Amino acid sequence: MRSSCLIVVLVLCSQLAIAQNQKTDWELLLRSIPSPERQREYMQRLSARPHHVGSAYDKDNAQWLLSTFKQWGLNARIESFDVLFPTPKERVVELIEPNKFTATLEEPAFTVDITSGQRVDQLPTYNAYSVDGDVAAPLVYVNYGIPEDYDQLERMGISVKGCIVIARYGAAWRGIKPKLAAEKGAIGCLIYSDPKEDGYYHGDVFPDGPWRPKDGVQRGSVMDMPLYPGDPLTPGVGATADAKRIPLKDAKTITRIPVLPISYADAQPLLAALNGPVAPEHWRGALPITYKIGPGNAKVHLKIKSKWDSKTINDVIVTIPGSLYPDEWIIRGNHHDAWVNGAMDPGSGLAAEMEELRALSELLKKGWKPKRTIVYCAWDGEEEGLLGSTEWAETHAAELKQKAVVYINSDAIGRGFIGMSGSHSLEKFINGVARDIEDPEKKISVWKRSQLQRISSAQSPEERSEVRTRPDLRIGALGSGSDYTSFLDHLGVSSLDIGYGGEDGGGIYHSIYDDFYWFTHFADTEFAYGRALAQTVGTAVIRLADADIVPYQFSNFAETVGRYVSELKKQLEAMQNQIKERNQEITEGVFSATSDPKHPLVPPATEEVPPYLNFAPLDNAVDALSRSADHYDKAAERISQAFVPPSQEALKAINGKLMLTERALTHAEGLPGRPWFKHLVYAPGAYTGYGVKTLPGVREAIELKRWKEAEKEIVRVATALQNEANIIESVARDLDAQPTK
Ligand SMILES: [Zn+2]
C-alpha cells in the first residue's frame, strides 16, 4: 500500500514534470527550427524579379507563398482587393534658367549586380500618389521641408509662394514635404537624397560599399497617410469588387502639387544654380557646392503624368484554428510587395516570418494544439500606402474588433540590436520574450545586449540608472510606416512591431539596388538575425496563443501614459516661457539691433502667451489607471500561483474583457480632422508622418496653439483612460472572485 502509494505519487510527479517540460519544449522546439539557409533561399526566390503592386512577379510571389504554405499542411488562401495605383507615363525635371540641364531620372545597372539590369520590369523613379502636373517656376531650397524649416525661411524673408521647392530626404516622412510645401503656396516639389543622409558621406557607395550611389533614387509613396492609409478611393471600407468608391477628384490623400524624387547627381546642378542667401550651417548637405536658398534666377520645369489604373492586390492569409478559444486571434504580418526587387525591404522580414510559420507547422505535426487561433498574413501593397493590410483590416473590421487579441508586425531588418515598439500593455510581455532569445553574434540574450547598448547611449545619469534598475526596457510607441497602422490606430488592437538592426548602414532603400546581391554582400549576410527574428516572434506567438490569461499588463502602460502627461505639461510651459522671452526681446529691440543690414532677418511678430490648461482630468485618469493596474497585477499574481486554475468558462469571460482594454482607448469619432485614426493614445503625427505623437489629440492641439481644442481633447482622452481603468478594475475583481484552492 505504501509502496503503491509512492508509485502513484511518483507517476503523478513525473506526469506533471512531462506536462511542465512539454510546455517549455514547444518553445524550445520552435526556436530550434528556423534555418538561415532556407531564409536565404526564400529571399533569393522572392527578390528574383521586381515585384511592385500589379506586376506579374508580385502575383507570382503571392501564388508561390500560397502553395508553399499549403505544402506545409497549412490552411492558406488569397484575399484580393482592387486599389487605385498610379504609375508614371511622363516625368520631366529640367533646369531652364539660367542654364539648361535635364535630369536623367534613371538608375543605371551595375554588371556585378545582375538583377539591377531588369530594366523592363522596374518601376521608374517616382513618388506614388503625386497629382499630375506641369509647372515651371523659380526654385527654392527648403532643407528637409519640415515646419521648422519654413519658420527659418520666414525669418529670412523668403516665401515659396508660386515656387518649386527642393527638399532633401530625411527628418520626417517624405509625404510631409509636398503636403507642407503646398500649404505654404509652392506649386511643385522635388525630393532628393543628399549624400550626407545615406551616400558617400558615410562610406563607400554601391557596388563597392552599401551606400547610395550618385544616381540612386528613393522611390516612395507621398499619399497623405496621416489622414488615412489604404486605397484613396475607399476610405474606411475594404476595397472589395463591389465597394462604393469616391471619385478620384475627391480623394484627399493625393498630393495637391506634383512631386518627384531625384538622385544627388540630378540635384547637384539644380542646387548649384541657386543664388540668394547661403543656407544656415545645419541646412548644408555633403555635396561639393555652397548651399544657397534662392529664389533667384534658377528656374525649373517639372512635369509628371501618371496612368491612374486600378490594380489587384493579393494578401496571403494562413489560419491555424485555436483548440480552446477559436474566437481569440493572434495575428502576425509582414508585407511581400516591394518597390523593385526588395531583398531587404521586405524580403529580410518576410523570410523570417516564413520560417516562423514553417516552425509552427512542424509543431502542429508533432501534436501541438494552440489554444487560440493564429492568423499569419503576407501583405501586398504595403509600399504604396499600407494597401493590403488596410483593406483587409477594413473589410474584416467588425470581426477583428470582436476577436483580435494582438497584431505583431515586422518589416525590413538587419544585423544588430532588437527593436521593440508597440502597445505598452505588451511591454512586460515582449521584454520576457527578449530575455529568452540568444543574440547570434554575442551569445548573450538580445534583451541583455539591448540593455547594455542603452546604458552606453544614455543621455543622462538618470536615464542610465533607469536602464540599469527598471525591470523592463522601455518600448517605443508606434507612429506609422508599416502594416500595424490599421490594427492599432484604426481598430484598437494591441500591436507590436519587432525588428533587428543598427549595425549595418546603407543607402539602397527603395532603389533598384535593394536586391539579393546587396543584401548578401552588405547586410545580414549569414541570415543570423533573420533566424533571431523568427525565434523572437515565433516565441511571442506561441506564448500569446497558449497563455491561460492574455498576457497584457497595465502598470507599465499607466506609468508610460503618466510620462506622456508630464511631457505635455512641460511642453506647454516651455512654449509659454519661450513666447514671453521672445516678446520681451522684441520690445527691447534685440532683433532689429542684431540683424546684419547686409543679411537682414525679419523680426518675429509678438504673440499671445499660451494660456494655462487644466490637466486635472488627465492626472485623475492616470491615477485611476495606476490603481486598477496595481490591483490587476496582484489579482493576476494570485491566480498564477493558484493550485486550481480558473475554469475554461471563467477564463473565456476574463479574456473577453481583457481584449476590450485596447479598444477602450479608441473613440468612434477619431482624432480632430482625421476621423480614420481612432486611437487616442498613439498616432502618426499629422506633420511628422511616420513619427509618433502620443496623446495625439492633446499634443497636436498644443503644438498648433488651438487651446479650446486642447481642453476638449484632454477631457476626451481622460474619459477613455477612465473607461480603461474601469475595465481593468472589473477584470481584477473577476480574478479575485476565482477560487484558488
Ligand atoms: Zn517594408
| Closest among 55, 491, 591 to 313, alpha carbons compared | 55
CA of 455 to the centre of ligand 1 (A): 29
What is the per-residue pLDDT for 740? 77
Q: Is 457 exposed, middle or buried (0-12, 13-18, 19+ CB in 10 A)?
A: exposed
What is the per-residue pLDDT for 6? 36
Q: pLDDT category, 468, cuts 50, 70, 90?
A: very high
82: enclosing H helix or E strand: strand 75-97
Q: Is the pLDDT of residue 5 over 60?
A: no
CA of 735 to the centre of ligand 1 (A): 41
CA of 412 to the centre of ligand 1 (A): 6
Amino acid in position 290: T
Contact between 615 and 715 under an 8 Å Cβ cutoff? The reply is no
Report the C-alpha gap between 190 and 383 in whole angstroms: 20
Span 147-173, average pLDDT: 96
Report the C-alpha gap between 174 and 169 in whole angstroms: 7
Amino acid in position 576: Q
CA of 348 to the centre of ligand 1 (A): 9
Is the bond preceding residue 138 a cis peptide, omega within 30 degrees? Answer: no
Q: Is the pLDDT of residue 22 over 50?
A: no
CA of 690 to the centre of ligand 1 (A): 13
Q: pLDDT category, 472, cuts 50, 70, 90?
A: very high
CA of 556 to the centre of ligand 1 (A): 29
CA of 335 to the centre of ligand 1 (A): 7
What is the per-residue pLDDT for 687? 82
CA of 364 to the centre of ligand 1 (A): 29
Backbone dihedral angles phi then psi of residue 269, each to the nearest 5 degrees: -60, -35
CA of 382 to the centre of ligand 1 (A): 7
CA of 675 to the centre of ligand 1 (A): 25
Backbone dihedral angles phi then psi of residue 210, each to the nearest 5 degrees: -85, -5
Contact between 689 and 226 under an 8 Å Cβ cutoff? The reply is yes
DSSP 582-609: HHHHHHHTHHHHHS-TTS--PPPPP-PP
CA of 538 to the centre of ligand 1 (A): 20
Average pLDDT, the chain: 95
CA of 342 to the centre of ligand 1 (A): 8
Q: pLDDT category, 598, cuts 50, 70, 90?
A: confident
Q: Which of 352-361, 618-627, 680-689 has the lowest mean pLDDT?
A: 680-689
Q: pLDDT category, 24, cuts 50, 70, 90?
A: low
CA of 710 to the centre of ligand 1 (A): 34
CA of 434 to the centre of ligand 1 (A): 23
Q: Is the pLDDT of residue 240 over 90?
A: yes
326: enclosing H helix or E strand: strand 325-335
Q: Is the pLDDT of residue 502 over 60?
A: yes
What is the per-residue pLDDT for 445? 98
CA of 349 to the centre of ligand 1 (A): 8
Alpha carbon dihedral 157, 162, 168, 169, in 10-degree steps, equals: 130
Q: pLDDT category, 19, cuts 50, 70, 90?
A: very low
CA of 431 to the centre of ligand 1 (A): 24
At 684, is the secondary structure helix, strand, or coil?
Answer: strand
Contact between 167 and 143 under an 8 Å Cβ cutoff? The reply is yes
Span 322-345, average pLDDT: 98
650's CB contacts (< 8 A; 6+ apart) are 734, 738
Span 156-167, average pLDDT: 97
Q: 476-491, pLDDT tens digit by residue? A: 999 888 999 999 999 9
Q: Is the pLDDT of residue 508 over 80?
A: yes
Angle, vertex CA 221, rays to CA 126 and CA 515, nearest 5:
70
Span 581-608, average pLDDT: 92
> What angle do helix axes 696-703 and 555-588 make, rounded to 10 degrees?
0
| Closest among 167, 175, 168, 171 to 227, alpha carbons compared | 175
Q: Is the pLDDT of residue 360 over 60?
A: yes
CA of 39 to the centre of ligand 1 (A): 17
Q: How many beta carbons lie within 10 A of that of residue 253, not counting itself?
A: 24
CA of 366 to the centre of ligand 1 (A): 33
CA of 58 to the centre of ligand 1 (A): 14
pTM of the predicted protein model: 0.95
What is the per-residue pLDDT for 741? 73
Q: 399-430, pLDDT tens digit by residue? A: 999 999 999 999 999 999 999 999 999 999 99
Report the C-alpha gap between 729 and 721 in whole angstroms: 12
CA of 638 to the centre of ligand 1 (A): 42
CA of 442 to the centre of ligand 1 (A): 27
Report the C-alpha gap between 50 and 349 in whole angstroms: 17
Span 340-346, average pLDDT: 98
CA of 383 to the centre of ligand 1 (A): 6
Q: Is the pLDDT of residue 23 over 80?
A: no
CA of 411 to the centre of ligand 1 (A): 5
What is the per-residue pLDDT for 599? 85
Strand 188-192 to 259-262 pairing? parallel
Angle, vertex CA 339, rays to CA 337 and CA 344, nearest 5:
75
What is the per-residue pLDDT for 691? 81
CA of 353 to the centre of ligand 1 (A): 13
Distance of CA 535 to the CA centre of its chain: 21
What is the per-residue pLDDT for 710? 98
Q: 317-333, pLDDT tens digit by residue? A: 999 999 999 999 999 99
Percent above pLDDT 70 for the chain: 96
CA of 440 to the centre of ligand 1 (A): 23
**Cell of residue 269, nine digits:** 546642378
CA of 465 to the centre of ligand 1 (A): 35
Percent above pLDDT 90 for the chain: 92
What is the per-residue pLDDT for 642? 85
CA of 400 to the centre of ligand 1 (A): 23
Span 453-465, average pLDDT: 97
CA of 453 to the centre of ligand 1 (A): 25
CA of 231 to the centre of ligand 1 (A): 17
In the DSSP assignment, the letter for residue 343 is I
CA of 482 to the centre of ligand 1 (A): 7
**Sign, CA torsion 671/567/559/483:** positive
CA of 389 to the centre of ligand 1 (A): 12
CA of 712 to the centre of ligand 1 (A): 36
